[in-house]
């Protein structure tokens, strides 16, 4: 049986230290957030790239919900209304870009693949003492970061959501209980449609099958549980796998490493 996980009280951290203008054309900011932290609804005049060194980001827009693991970062163009949260403790950073310097970035909200070089640059900036985060060398480093962001492959969303009246209830139910074992046919009966119709909606709305979406969901959920210190055997059970080896095989196929390898790497 899945075990319950207690949720701590929601906190409301400051969303950004800036009000109307940025102190420079490109600004780096890092922060450590407690579990279940919530970013209230807000918007700003500049673009923002958000990347989690650990933890899983969730960003809610008017009609879209982005849930993105650490291999990716999220680009938010200027003037986009959004809220955010992290269910587990998270270490993240933001790269703020004034509109004039963001013209070569995507015009829409999207996930960007983070290369090893970009990750290394962001990690270096995170480790840089505030007293050294200034001057021409620092500005040149931020320019390289922006160059890397402009060249980063766009992936849309690692785990896309949908407001489709047939598909949305299924995705929401799976997100609430990723270990639910129901088949596509079972879910189709649950929303009073045919299996073929539900499969078509998955391809058109998500760009993948429901089985692939569910595996991605379970991978994202597993990442957060691994970082929280849960045992691999318990995670496999909670996520509905018949055996620990089946879970490890799925995790390795989607991430390129084992659950223990991922935990050590983080």
Do 31 and 149 have their domain in common?
yes
pLDDT at 82: 86
pLDDT over 70 at 203, yes or no: yes
pLDDT at 6: 38
pLDDT over 80 at 7, yes or no: no
Question: Phi, psi at residue 90, to the nearest 5°?
Answer: -140, 145
pLDDT at 3: 32
Q: How many domains does the chain have?
A: 2
Whether residue 254 is contained in a domain is answered as yes
CATH label of the domain that carries residue 241:
1.10.10.60
What value does the mean pLDDT take over residues 88-109?
A: 91
Which residue from 219, 210, 108, 84 is spatially nearest to 156, judged by alpha carbons?
108
Q: For a pLDDT cut of 90, what percent of the chain falls above it? A: 54
Lowest mean pLDDT among 22-26, 56-60, 77-81, 115-119: 56-60
Do 149 and 193 have their domain in common?
no
CATH label of the domain that carries residue 102:
2.60.120.280
From first CA to last CA, the distance across the chain in angstroms is 28
pLDDT at 2: 34
Whether residue 11 is contained in a domain is answered as no
pLDDT at 20: 72
Q: 179 lies in which domain range?
A: 167-265
Whether residue 195 is contained in a domain is answered as yes
Do 152 and 33 have their domain in common?
yes
Do 44 and 152 have their domain in common?
yes
Cβ(235)–Cβ(259) below 8 Å: yes
- The pTM is what? 0.70
pLDDT at 96: 96
pLDDT at 133: 83
Do 118 and 140 have their domain in common?
yes
Do 103 and 42 have their domain in common?
yes
What value does the mean pLDDT take over residues 163-190?
A: 94
Do 30 and 151 have their domain in common?
yes
Over residues 24-78, the pLDDT tens digits come to 999 999 988 887 787 788 888 999 999 988 877 778 787 677 777 777 899 999 9
Do 139 and 219 have their domain in common?
no
pLDDT over 50 at 122, yes or no: yes
Domain stops at, among 156, 184, 204? 156
pLDDT at 63: 64
The vertex-75 CA angle with 74 and 78, nearest 5°, equals 145
């Amino acid at each position: 049986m899945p075990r319950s996980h207690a949720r701590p009280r929601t906190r409301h951290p400051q969303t950004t230290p800036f009000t109307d203008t940025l102190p420079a054309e490109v600004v780096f900011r890092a922060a450590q957030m407690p579990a279940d932290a919530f970013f209230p609804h807000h918007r700003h005049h500049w673009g923002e790239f958000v990347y989690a060194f650990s933890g899983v980001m969730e960003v809610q827009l008017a009609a879209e919900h982005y849930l993105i693991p650490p291999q990716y970062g999220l680009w938010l163009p200027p003037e986009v209304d959004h809220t955010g949260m992290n269910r587990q403790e998270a270490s993240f950073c933001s790269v703020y870009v004034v509109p004039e310097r963001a013209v070569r970035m995507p015009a829409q909200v999207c996930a960007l693949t983070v290369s090893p070089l970009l990750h290394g640059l962001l990690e270096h900036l995170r480790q840089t003492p505030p007293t050294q985060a200034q001057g021409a060398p620092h500005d040149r480093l931020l320019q390289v970061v922006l160059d890397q962001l402009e060249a980063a492959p766009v992936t849309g969303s690692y785990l896309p959501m949908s407001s489709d009246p047939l598909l949305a209830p299924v995705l929401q139910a799976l997100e609430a209980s990723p270990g639910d074992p129901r088949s596509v046919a079972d879910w189709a009966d649950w929303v009073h449609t045919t299996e073929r119709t539900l499969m078509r909606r998955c391809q058109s709305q998500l760009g993948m099958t429901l089985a692939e979406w569910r595996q991605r969901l379970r991978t994202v959920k597993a990442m957060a549980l691994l970082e929280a210190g849960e045992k691999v055997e318990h995670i496999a059970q909670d996520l509905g796998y018949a055996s620990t080896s089946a879970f490890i095989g799925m995790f390795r196929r989607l991430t390129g490493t084992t659950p223990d390898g991922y935990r050590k790497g983080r």
